[in-house]
Amino acid sequence: MMLCRAALSPCFHAPGRFLLFSPWSIAAIARPSLPAHNWVLKNGSVRCWSNIPFITVPLSRTHGKSFAHRSELKHAKRIVVKLGSAVVTRGDECGLALGRLASIVEQVSMLQNQGREMMIVTSGAVAFGKQRLRHEILLSQSVRQALHSGQNQLKDMAIPVLEARACAAAGQSGLMALYEAMFTQYSICAAQILVTNLDFHDEQKRRNLNGTLHELLRMNIVPIINTNDAVVPPPEPNSDLQGVNVGKVLQGADPVCGPAWSMKAWLTNLCRESYNVISVKDNDSLAARLAVEMKTDLLIVLSDVEGLFDSPPGSDDAKLIDIFYPGDQQSVTFGTKSRVGMGGMEAKVKAALWALQGGTSVVIANGTHPKISGHVITDIVEGKKVGTFFSEVKPAGPTVEQQAEMARAGGRTLAALQPEQRADIIYHLADLLTDQREEILLANKKDMEEAENKGRLALPFMKRLSLSTSKLNSLAIGLRQIAASSQDSVGRVIRRTRIAKDLELEQVTVPIGVLLVIFESRPDCLPQVSALAIASGNGLLLKGGREASHSNQILHHLTQEALSIHGVKDAVQLVNTREEVEDLCRLDKLIDLIIPRGSSQLVRDIQKAAKGIPVMGHSEGICHVYVDADASVEKVTRIVRDSKCEYPAACNALETLLIHRDQLRTPLFDQIIDMLRVEQVKIHAGPRFASYLTFSPSEVKSLRTEYGDLECCIEVVDSVQEAIEHIHKYGSSHTDVIVTENEKTAEYFLQHVDSACVFWNASTRFSDGYRFGLGAEVGISTSRIHARGPVGIEGLLTTKWLLRGDNHVVSDFSEHGSMKYLHENLPIPQRNTN
């Protein structure tokens, strides 16, 4: 039996067109069919999805193969969302989870209004009907017992076991009415279709179903499909996905089927002589069957678990499988069934693999988790790492999760090496940078040419992307500095205490663990960060920008070549998969620290996306130079020129120039302005500076701006105190400078400015790990925890406590115990660094 019910007004207005509803869209599907007609569109394609011809919106891709990567899911045009019983129903299984259902409807409506074609396969009729029937039974029993047995007997009422088919019959109309009311809030119409397995064995009914669904989609209506549980027989054990031989299904069929019948296209696309048609025994198999018959791009299966695990969910070693490939089911252990519903995870996997084989991409995800259910569907369509993605294309290399595990294991081995062995690796890498410079520069040339051809990078970013012989030589020098200073980093004792007799405590330096460094258009960052990670014994996961892919590949290859001399090649990993930064930031069980190197927008995005992983870095580099009343003319022009013009795209470049009021209209001020004009620096006037001028430059839109180019803001202050207040209000706690000959004023500035780097009579550009003698830096931190300023080896270390005793127990130190605490500071042994 197959029913179709549409909650429709007589007509529907879609953007840019007016559609009339045909009787075929609201009548029973199992009707006598009219002869099918072939209609040729302007592009030459033939469509005959129903007995009434219509023009369809072209899909964004040709159906036939599933998407290979999550990032491609955003191109999905036609989507089926399967809602499991556990998603739709409440925890007590009597009634619907209204808030969760409203959120799902909102997401489906959002995608529908984006121009996608959405379909829902829903459960919940039995649970909704059970709620209604229980209410009726309780009401009937209470009245009956009140009349015959008195009020004292009400508490003894028992609710009989309710038959599922009766519950389904009572719940179908209410469930659909609820969907109608919710979709109406988004000006979207919904139509209900009830099917059984027998309907798919009838060629005519299958053809009618196909035509009706296409016509509903054409009219921007969301079909809501469910098995007709009021008439289906009870499920047979282990028969959810047994399959029916297609030869038997096709017996008596017309050997030359027209395009109106999707099964023919099905078989052609699959290129199989023998194929098992999925048997519709539950909504998992129904969703898979419809997804393939309707040639959908994506099937989203929502359940009460996050996806597939390599062992039963909840077990200690269970890990979520990000991507599942055909054939991997042998390595998966399936847990128990859902608390409600007819299928289980095994049934979902079989249905998903069947749909995948038919050309439909599949994601199984959790639709009940309160933190993600409000955006789980849209997140999946956006390509985010949610649930388990089924793919037929296995990547050539390891997954990012596997890379992170390899980096952790490699990092632990690296930390166990002798200091001179880690230094040896870094020295070898420095030599490779100069020995292999031609190969490096050739790879970088490819990146530069591709960036220029695409025109996607501004000039400051092109400068960052570019490598040169001088840059490589500087890199090699910096790496040798790191190697020389790394001898006494890991395992260094920083505190010794005698707790009691024969009980000694040590605090020693250890690596943080696994670092994730994300950098944009800065290939020179890769060897720098790698050397610091090696010196500090950390595992490293690198994510570079696509614009530097060729440069990053060769530099990473050289890094692993250097690591190989002591058997720790896996300690540094380069992420080459299509992993989005936001997905990497969710690997809180695999990554210990995230260090972004790039634009302020990148840093802000990472800080927002990182859940449970600390982020070291700065979101902006708004650096100030304050020209005091006692400043030297010669020093001011040199320092300001170097701070702004030497490398304007750097995070430590001058952005705001603060000038003491007494310096206005003086030769010093004129020389500053002349120098900036010669260097072609665009000046923006602060509010106070603009008030002093008759014809001022363009007034600054915000005093909290990082220009990253040959632009700066000039503002006027009355005193050093006012300059400090301005820096604290509008700065980013990065690097701030005072230029003055007054030592007392300078010391006041140095002590009171609360920034990571504060300088006197020196350029802001000195804020750099290499210039500080750290060899290199992983970044400049403006946070107040752990590390601040240019972060070198010390910033990549933490500590652990080592306690050495001899049969010591705490009870010995009680009031009546035999031992007393001494807490004596002990001298720290000096390590031989030669």
DSSP code string of 251-300? TT--SS--TT-HHHHHHHHHT-SS-EEPP-SSHHHHHHHHHHHTT-SEEE
Predicted local distance difference test score (pLDDT) of residue 718: 96
Q: Examine the pLDDT at 147 and tell me if it is beyond 90.
A: no
Classify domain 624-777 by CATH architecture.
Answer: 3-Layer(aba) Sandwich (3.40)
- How many Cα atoms sit within 13 Å of 738 on the Cβ side? 29
Q: Which two tokens stand for residue 262?
A: 């999707």
Q: Which two tokens stand for residue 136?
A: 């009726």
Say which range, 299-308, 416-425, 507-516, has the weakest mean pLDDT: 299-308
3-state secondary structure 399-455: CHHHHHHHHHHHHHHHHHCCHHHHHHHHHHHHHHHHHCHHHHHHHHHHHHHHHHHHC
- Cα distances from 405 to residues 212, 515, 541, 677, in angstroms, run 50, 12, 10, 54
Question: Please, what is the Cα angle at 784 between 778 and 787, to 5 degrees?
Answer: 30
More confident residue, 597 or 64: 597
Q: Which two tokens stand for residue 630?
A: 């006692």
Q: Give, as one character, the DSSP assignment of residue 6.
A: E
More confident residue, 585 or 511: 511
Say which range, 33-37, 495-499, 512-516, has the weakest mean pLDDT: 33-37
More confident residue, 761 or 235: 761
Q: Give, as one character, the DSSP assignment of residue 563.
A: H
Q: Which two tokens stand for residue 577?
A: 């998969």
Which single residue is written with the structure tokens 């010196």? 535
Please count the other Cβ atoms lying within 10 Å of the Cβ belonging to residue 3: 18
Contact 520, 495 (CB under 8 A): no
Contact 511, 800 (CB under 8 A): no
Domain ranges of the chain: 70-124+189-231+279-390, 400-609, 624-777
Question: Please, what is the Cα angle at 470 between 645 and 545, to 5 degrees?
Answer: 75
430-443 pLDDT, tens digit per residue, is 999 999 999 999 99
Q: Which two tokens stand for residue 585?
A: 């930031």
The residue ranges of DSSP E strands in 608-708, in sequence order, are: 623-627, 654-660, 682-685
Percent of the chain topping pLDDT 90: 50
Please count the other Cβ atoms lying within 10 Å of the Cβ belonging to residue 426: 25
Which single residue is written with the structure tokens 């859940």? 611
Domains 400-609 and 624-777 share a fold: no
Q: What average pLDDT does this structure show over 276-293?
A: 77
Predicted local distance difference test score (pLDDT) of residue 830: 76
Burial label for 666, CB within 10 Å (0-12, 13-18, 19+), is middle
Q: Which two tokens stand for residue 700?
A: 């600054």
Q: Give, as one character, the DSSP assignment of residue 69.
A: S
Stretch (H or E) spanning 147 = helix 125-148
Beta bridge partners of 299: 80, 362
Contact 798, 514 (CB under 8 A): no
DSSP percent split of the chain into helix, strand, coil, nearest 5: 40, 20, 40
Residue 232 CA to its chain's centroid (Å): 42
More confident residue, 584 or 270: 584
- Side chain identity at 751, as an amino acid letter? Q
Distance between CA atoms of 298 and 714, rounded to whole angstroms?
55
Backbone φ, ψ for residue 497 (5° rounding): -140, 135
Distance between CA atoms of 333 and 311, rounded to whole angstroms?
5
400-609 has CATH 3.40.225.10 classification? no
Backbone φ, ψ for residue 460 (5° rounding): -60, -35
Confidence of residue 149 (pLDDT cuts 50, 70, 90): low
Packing angle of the helix pair 419-435, 469-485 (nearest 10 deg) = 170
Find, among 251, 1, 217, the residue nearest to 116 by Cα.
Answer: 217
Distance between CA atoms of 82 and 199, rounded to whole angstroms?
19
Find, among 796, 797, 792, 798, the residue nearest to 528 by Cα.
Answer: 792
Q: Tell me the fold of 70-124+189-231+279-390.
A: Carbamate kinase (3.40.1160)
More confident residue, 316 or 759: 759
Contact 534, 572 (CB under 8 A): yes
Distance between CA atoms of 791 and 532, rounded to whole angstroms?
10
Distance between CA atoms of 234 and 240, rounded to whole angstroms?
11
Find, among 817, 818, 766, 775, the residue nearest to 794 by Cα.
Answer: 775
The DSSP annotation for 685-754 comes to E-HHHHHT-SS--PBPS-SS----SSEEEEEEESSHHHHHHHHHHH--SSEEEEE-S-HHHHHHHHHH--
723-749 pLDDT, tens digit per residue, is 999 999 999 999 999 999 999 999 999
Chain-wide mean pLDDT for the chain? 81
Distance between CA atoms of 465 and 441, rounded to whole angstroms?
11
More confident residue, 438 or 9: 438
More confident residue, 625 or 484: 625
Confidence of residue 492 (pLDDT cuts 50, 70, 90): very high
Find, among 677, 627, 679, 619, the residue nearest to 648 by Cα.
Answer: 679
Q: Which two tokens stand for residue 178?
A: 């609820």
Predicted local distance difference test score (pLDDT) of residue 20: 40
Radius of gyration in angstroms for the set of CA atoms belonging to the chain, rounded to a whole number: 35
Task: Identify the sign of the CA torsion 163, 166, 168, 170.
Answer: negative
More confident residue, 775 or 363: 363
Burial label for 173, CB within 10 Å (0-12, 13-18, 19+), is middle
Which single residue is written with the structure tokens 């994730």? 516
pLDDT winner (highest mean) among 51-60, 392-401, 672-681 = 672-681
- How many Cα atoms sit within 13 Å of 268 on the Cβ side? 11
Residue 627 CA to its chain's centroid (Å): 45
Predicted local distance difference test score (pLDDT) of residue 372: 76
> In angstroms, how far apart are the furthest CA atoms of the chain?
108
**End-to-end CA, the chain:** 86
Please count the other Cβ atoms lying within 10 Å of the Cβ belonging to residue 30: 16
3-state secondary structure of 308: coil
Predicted local distance difference test score (pLDDT) of residue 22: 42
Contact 134, 162 (CB under 8 A): yes
Find, among 517, 597, 527, 594, the residue nearest to 560 by Cα.
Answer: 527
Q: What average pLDDT does this structure show over 622-647?
A: 95
Predicted local distance difference test score (pLDDT) of residue 55: 31
